[in-house]
Amino acid sequence: MFKKILCPTDGSNHAFKALDLAIDMAKKYDAALVILHVPHRSENIDALQRFAEIEGLTKHVNAEVNRLKAMDYRIAVATDAAFQDSGISPRLLIEIGEHIIEGAKGRAEDNGLEDVTARLEPGDPADRILELIDAENIDCVIMGSRGLNDLKGLFLGSVSHKIANRAPCTCIAVK
């Protein structure tokens, strides 16, 4: 039924549940699994710090997170003009993004999947996901219903909501 499954992830609890379902579906249908992480343009510093603590990354990112909190900035992706103005180190977003996708890929491979690709790409998460669906001929997207930025999703429309409404393939949002 499915030949290629996309699992976008931001490292949130819902994303981990979605990854587990994507792994199960890929195994069942002998499908390829593509894991994608797109850093959010406005990730909350507190959410980022909680994620770093949970994942054991505090020694790598604490100094940067504390500096940002002291400056009262919000995280922005390197491709945004706001990123350049804020003085935020691109290394912070890249390091956390690499940790997220490497962990997700390892989890899939540990569960017996062989055809697993992990990608870290800048941009708007919804736009990048939709572009990848077309470019990679994805026939199923499995993603968390909420990410690290739950409040933003309530007011601006979550990434999963945008994908469910725009994608030309099957979409599963996991709670």
Domains of the chain by residue range:
4-174
Tokens 């504390």, residue located: 66
| Domain 4-174, CATH among 3.30.365.10, 3.40.50.620, 3.40.50.20, 2.40.50.100 | 3.40.50.620
Determine the pLDDT at residue 154.
Answer: 41
Instruction: Please list, in sequence order, all residues whose beta carbon lies within 8 angstroms of the beta carbon of residue 53, skipping any fewer than 6 positions away.
Output: none
pTM of the model as a whole: 0.75
DSSP letter at 47 equals H
- The DSSP bridge pattern shows strands 140-144 and 116-120 to be unpaired
Angle ∠(147,150,152) on CA atoms, nearest 5: 115
Q: Which residue has the higher pLDDT, 146 or 165?
A: 165
Banded model confidence at residue 99, pLDDT cuts 50, 70, 90 = confident
Q: What is the mean pLDDT of residues 139-164?
A: 70
What does the longest C-alpha to C-alpha distance in the chain come to?
Answer: 51
Q: What is the mean pLDDT of residues 60-81?
A: 50
Determine the pLDDT at residue 123.
Answer: 84
Q: Which residues of 31-68 are buried (b: 16+ CB within 10 A; e: fewer)?
A: bbbbbbbbbbbebbbebbbebbeeeebeebbeebbeeb
**Do the beta carbons of residue 100 and residue 130 sit within 8 Å?**
no
Q: Is 152 left (phi over 0), alpha (psi -120 to 50) or beta?
A: alpha
The span from the CA of 161 to the CA of 150, in Å, is 12
Three-class secondary structure of residue 119 per DSSP: strand
**Do the beta carbons of residue 33 and residue 140 sit within 8 Å?**
no
Determine the pLDDT at residue 90.
Answer: 64
